[in-house]
Amino acid sequence: MKVACTGGTPRRITQQALEQAMAKAWKSSFYSISQVSNTVFMAHFRNQEDMIWVYTRQPWSVNSEIMLLDWFDMNVHASSKEDYKFEHILVTIRAYGIHRNKRSLSLLEDIMNQVGVASDYHILQENNLFTRQDYIWGVANLKVGDPVKDRVIVNYSDNTNGIGYLHYERIKRICLFYGVLFHTAQNCNFRNSLITKRAKSNQTDLHIPTQRFGQWIIDEDYVPTEDKTRHFNI
């Protein structure tokens, strides 16, 4: 387990705080956690069932910091515990704006695969399509460091298309400039390098915004709604 951070300085979390939080969250699936380095920890489980229970219910957080999880194989990685790379995270993604009678599992899987890879652990079912009035949802395996999308074009089976607005559940920090998880625009390396480049080339009149993505990726209250459009048209 590792404190998720892709820009700025990762928050320091103590082993004790992490152990307390995870013992509470994982309940009977919790066994123990040991510390590997400042930001890396190792969770130990009694059996595979407990381990998979925890793995498939990501993301887990402590003190509002998300922890990245990855399988650790003692035989393969014994000498590289400290610099072990945590490259993936399972995230529940909601897609708003898809009309009820246009929803389908293949459409949902396509949306998951436009951002990451639909999780093999979470089989998409009718539930994912119809339990919520305003969105469909699924779990995708995202590559940490790759930008996410705030919307996708969806192609319906009747040859029409529309826009799905994506929200990433429980990921409170996503760069609204470039869409990368676990940093803010303030700590965006990509944006900061653009600012530096601009200064070097004396193009100081070139505006570099702080936000290019819809805020709904981190806060569902900002999802554009059809209702608003209708209201606007009256």
Taking the complex as a whole, how short is the minimal distance between the CB of residue 185 and Zn ion, in angstroms?
6
In the bound state with Zn ion, the residue whose beta carbon lies nearer, of 139 and 180, is: 180
- CA separation, residue 148 to residues 13, 40, 181, 218 (Å): 26, 25, 8, 11
**Nearest Cα to 105, choosing from 137, 149, 131?**
137
Q: Which is nearer to Zn ion, 19 or 150 (CB)?
A: 150
Closest approach, Cβ 182 to Zn ion, in A, equals: 9
Q: How many CB atoms lie within 10 A of CB 66?
A: 23
> Least distance from C-beta 6 to Zn ion, angstroms?
8
The residue length of the chain stands at 234
Of 90 and 174, which CB lies nearer to Zn ion in the complex structure?
Answer: 174
Q: Which is nearer to Zn ion, 3 or 175 (CB)?
A: 175
- Minimum CB–partner distance for residue 163 and Zn ion (Å): 23
Q: How far is the CB of 12 from Zn ion (least distance, A)?
A: 22
28: exposed, middle or buried (C-beta count within 10 Å: 0-12, 13-18, 19+)? exposed
According to DSSP H, which parts of 124-222 are helical? 126-130, 189-200
Amino acid at 231: H
Which candidate, 229, 234, 224, places its Cα nearest to that of 134?
A: 224
DSSP state at residue 88: E
Those residues whose C-beta lies under 8 Å from the C-beta of residue 216, and which sit 6 or more positions away, are: 96, 150, 165, 166, 167, 222, 223, 224
Between 43 and 188, CB nearer to Zn ion: 188
Q: Could you list the residues that contact Zn ion (CB under 5 A)? A: 175, 178, 180, 188
CB of 173 to Zn ion, least distance (A): 10
In the complex with Zn ion, the residue whose CB is nearer, 108 or 176, is 176
